[in-house]
């Protein structure tokens, strides 16, 4: 059941990629066959222009762009957050099977755990270091055997230790005396906090959350009041530095916003360039259409890869690079479509 739920939560994320690519492949195949079978010539002979033929396809691409925008800006980020929470729940239910053996585990807050052998919920050779606020070890617990159970409802891990010793290691205390316990119970919570925008990854934020986070950052870096003891030139230079610094720290958020919006127009861009290329290709083969679609997709997405790789270099305007493939594909597509309509 959880596997089905996980797949369902990943569908919106895949959908924003699958819709434009599927539309491009279908456009190339349909209009390539349309041209190869001389149906375009028959349509023109009957007095119907190419623009009238492709208008429904262009309207469909516009609808697909709106759907992509809704999914990309709102649905997909929420599904990604829900998917990550689902993984935490799965990890809690299978905590004994997911813990690595003979490894110092630092996933628990203020704890370092080492387990020599794990057999389902049964543990052997358990070592637990407790860390203070400064990150130093104040005591450790050593046990020969233990048992681990997970309370999925409250997301709490219960550890039952047998034949355990507790030894304090505080520097300012007297010589520590080991304390023996035949049986000891410990509970550790691994419950994730409610993900707030400032603690979430940018890719997991919705459009509204990104805008809110952007306003918060911009409000923290702003010019308030006059700059005393500075000449006019020095004041202007100081304001430029403040503006440059604000653009620098807000660039990752602005880049994510532009990426989500620009990516939503991929369906229109692919359709505009796919129709005339399919007509010009004049091929019936499915493999040719798929190969051409893959080439166009690689060219389109390469601009997004380049733009996102420059997220620390505002001087290159990476958020504007994300819009280049849309303008490029749409401009080339309209020119080729105009030439195809004239029979050039």
Q: What pLDDT digit, counting tens, does each position of 50-80 carry?
A: 888 888 999 999 999 999 899 988 888 888 8
Instruction: Supply the pLDDT for residue 142.
Output: 84
Where is pLDDT greater, at 83 or 68? 68
Closest CA to 72 of 334, 313, 304: 304
- pLDDT of 198 above 50: no
Q: What is the pTM assigned to this prediction?
A: 0.62
CA distance 182 to 164: 6
Scored b (16 or more CB within 10 A) or e, 308-323 reads bebbeebeeebbebbb
Highest mean pLDDT among 69-78, 159-168, 180-189, 244-253: 69-78
Distances from the Cα of 197 to the Cα of 193, 203, 208, 212, 321, angstroms: 12, 11, 10, 9, 26
Share of the chain above pLDDT 70, in %: 72
CA 276 distance to own-chain centroid: 33
Q: How confident is the model at residue 190 (pLDDT cuts 50, 70, 90)?
A: very low
Return the ∠ at Cα 331 (arms to 327 and 337), rounded to 5°: 145
Share of the chain above pLDDT 90, in %: 4
CA distance 285 to 167: 75
Any idea where the domains of the chain sit in the sequence? 10-75+249-342, 108-189
CA distance 35 to 51: 15
Average pLDDT over residues 326-337: 88
Closest CA to 259 of 325, 315, 333, 334: 325
**Measured torsion, CA atoms of residues 327, 332, 338, 340, in degrees rounded to the nearest 10:** -150
pLDDT digits (tens, 9 = 90+) for 162-173: 877 787 765 555
Q: What average pLDDT is seen over the chain?
A: 76
Q: How confident is the model at residue 193 (pLDDT cuts 50, 70, 90)?
A: very low
Beta strands in the chain (DSSP E): 104-105, 111-119, 122-131, 137-151, 156-168, 179-189
Residue 172 CB: number of other CB atoms within 10 A?
Answer: 4
pLDDT digits (tens, 9 = 90+) for 255-292: 888 888 998 899 999 998 888 888 877 665 567 667 87
Q: How confident is the model at residue 22 (pLDDT cuts 50, 70, 90)?
A: confident
Where is pLDDT greater, at 151 or 170? 151
Instruction: Supply the pLDDT for residue 63.
Output: 93
């Amino acid at each position: 059941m959880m596997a089905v739920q996980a797949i369902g939560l990943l569908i919106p994320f895949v959908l924003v990629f699958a819709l434009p690519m599927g539309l491009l492949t279908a456009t190339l195949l349909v209009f390539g066959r349309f041209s190869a079978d001389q149906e375009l010539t028959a349509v023109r002979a009957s007095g119907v222009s190419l623009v009238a033929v492709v208008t429904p396809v262009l309207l469909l691409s516009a609808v697909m762009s709106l759907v992509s925008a809704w999914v990309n800006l709102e649905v997909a980020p929420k599904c990604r957050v829900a998917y990550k929470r689902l993984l935490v729940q799965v990890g809690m239910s299978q905590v004994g099977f997911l813990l690595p053996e003979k490894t110092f585990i630092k996933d628990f807050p203020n704890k370092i755990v080492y387990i020599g052998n794990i057999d389902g919920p049964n543990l052997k050779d358990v070592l637990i270091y407790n860390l203070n606020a400064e990150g130093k070890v104040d005591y450790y617990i050593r046990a020969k055997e233990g048992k681990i159970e997970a309370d999925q409802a409250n997301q709490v891990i219960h550890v039952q230790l047998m034949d355990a010793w507790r030894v304090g290691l505080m520097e300012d205390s007297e010589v520590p005396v080991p304390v023996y316990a035949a049986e000891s119970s410990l509970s550790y919570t691994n419950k994730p906090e409610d993900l707030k925008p400032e603690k979430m990854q940018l890719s997991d934020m919705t459009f509204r959350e990104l805008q809110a986070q952007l306003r918060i950052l911009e409000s923290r870096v702003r010019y308030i009041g006059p700059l005393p003891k500075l000449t006019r030139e020095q004041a202007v230079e100081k304001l430029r530095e403040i503006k440059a610094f604000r653009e620098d720290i807000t660039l990752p958020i602005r880049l994510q916003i532009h990426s989500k919006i620009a990516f939503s127009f991929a369906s229109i861009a692919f359709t505009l360039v796919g129709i005339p290329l399919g007509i010009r290709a004049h091929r019936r083969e499915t493999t040719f259409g798929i190969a051409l679609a893959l080439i166009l997709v690689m060219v389109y997405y390469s601009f997004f890869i380049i733009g996102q790789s420059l997220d620390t270099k505002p001087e290159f305007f990476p958020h504007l690079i994300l819009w280049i493939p849309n303008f490029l594909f749409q401009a080339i597509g309209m020119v080729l479509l105009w030439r195809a309509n004239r029979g050039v």
